[in-house]
Structure 1
């Protein structure tokens, strides 16, 4: 085989699957001072991170922190008065927060809560994601369900859906008490916590709501999910602290092991870093991927 052909085959192999992504990492920073942090998200407009703090899960003691792009706390208690805040989503100038059984909308420029939207029937809202048409999906780990807040482009075949309202989109034990969610290419990719056993890496067809198991074997109490290109995702296992690279073909590679309680992780594509909210450690840890 000539050298040119060999390089072409290597390039095609690397670009086609899970092994094109980083599978090694080193701990480079621990930022302390939080109160049971759960989720990390980055706002490209402000060049800052927002971090949800569950605190002691008492009414009003939860809060959102602002952290600089280089990992320094700007305002520990930027937004207060929450209860058990978890998932975070930045959409234009609004920060959406899942807050126990309600969705909270926060104006980023005004640094204030715009409105609180009760979610009927919710038990424990968790992660939140938005698809390419503006539909917002929310996982409910307490009842193995997913909720939907339709965007302006109501392309989903749901007669009862109205823009700005939240309805139950899918309720099934086959969701395995879904935790992490990420919308990509007409699919919802899900990290499942599991019930009385480890959870799987799943996908849900947004139009048909068909649930498919991607992982070949059960993985763990899965929490966070972040895309690593088009063919793979980083998954966090809350119970073991392990971070995996999971291919859409079911391949699984361990990237690193932190400690128990690694939550809703964030993958910084610009810096090639994984950022882990460590719930029990009251800290956020930065890992540099190699």
Structure 2
């Protein structure tokens, strides 16, 4: 493998501003919340609850619906999933990664309208949707990216530099992919921290972001204007990537999973090991 050329400003990892993130609210008594997806209409948040072991297919997983100010509307809005993880919303539909299945939920009807199976996948993990409607899904343990395009759900991309792709985000016409790390152990720790990559759909070229090089055991990715936020599940750290710098803006507990956002510097942090979701207002 060719050596990577990475440059990061010397101010990387400088302390966050004195006025740091402010907690807005939290929702408790969840069951291993893994992902938060914000409705683009600004009314509701959807929270996936594993409710078991990350790889356990027990049919006990569910999705919660809460308001954007943290009021629980329905704790078990939809039930019967195995180990639901990453989610994305587009055109009134909620896409949910659930082990070997991608579920499609009609938000207005409040029900699953389609299942797409990937029998060779090992753990479908995160979801994002491109402007053209294509849906991209990571397979953390299978080392692959899947794509739902024109009603066909297929293995689409794999690369030696992406042994464990986790967070995915469609951003500025390309796909951001957060690799969990390399040399994964049974407890999901790794020998080498994961790197955040930019993947060109047209050329299938994988390029590491300088600010995301060997950043951590990366889980969720959120874009807010020209800033990116990335969460580290193992360490509980939340990073902000901006202007060729990366800053740790929060130090939380282990289990900081697939963060969500709805703009205006608000980040929704699912604390998987603490059974809660906390909303944070990020500093300027």
Q: Normalization by structure 2: what TM-score?
A: 0.85
- Residue in structure 2 matched with residue 177 of structure 1 by the alignment: 164
| Counterpart among 136, 160, 165 of residue 152 in structure 2 | 165
- Residue in structure 2 matched with residue 205 of structure 1 by the alignment: 200
Shift of 1:248: 7.0
- Residue in structure 2 matched with residue 234 of structure 1 by the alignment: 229
Asked if the contact 2:38–2:261 (Cα under 8 Å) also holds between the matched residues in 1, the reply is: no
1:47-77, CA deviations, whole angstroms, 9 ceiling, x for partnerless residues?
1000000111342100000001210111011
- Structure whose CA Rg is larger: 1
- Residue in structure 2 matched with residue 191 of structure 1 by the alignment: 178
| Counterpart among 10, 21, 24 of residue 25 in structure 1 | 21
Instruction: For residue 179 of structure 1, give the secondary structure of its aligned residue in structure 2.
Output: strand
1:244-259 paired onto structure 2 within 5 Å: 244-247=239-242, 249=244, 251-259=245-253
Instruction: For residue 161 of structure 2, give the secondary structure of its aligned residue in structure 1.
Output: helix
Shift of 1:146: 0.6
Instruction: For residue 85 of structure 2, give the secondary structure of its aligned residue in structure 1.
Output: strand
Shift of 1:169: 1.2
Structure 2 gaps, min length 5: 1-13, 184-191
Shift of 1:186: 2.5
- Residue in structure 2 matched with residue 140 of structure 1 by the alignment: 139
| Separation in 2, partners of 1:93, 1:46 | 13
1:65-104 paired onto structure 2 within 5 Å: 65-104=64-103
Structure 1 gaps, min length 5: 1-18, 151-162
| Separation in 1, partners of 2:243, 2:223 | 11
Shift of 1:30: 2.5
Q: Normalization by structure 1: what TM-score?
A: 0.83
Report the aligned-residue RMSD: 2.0
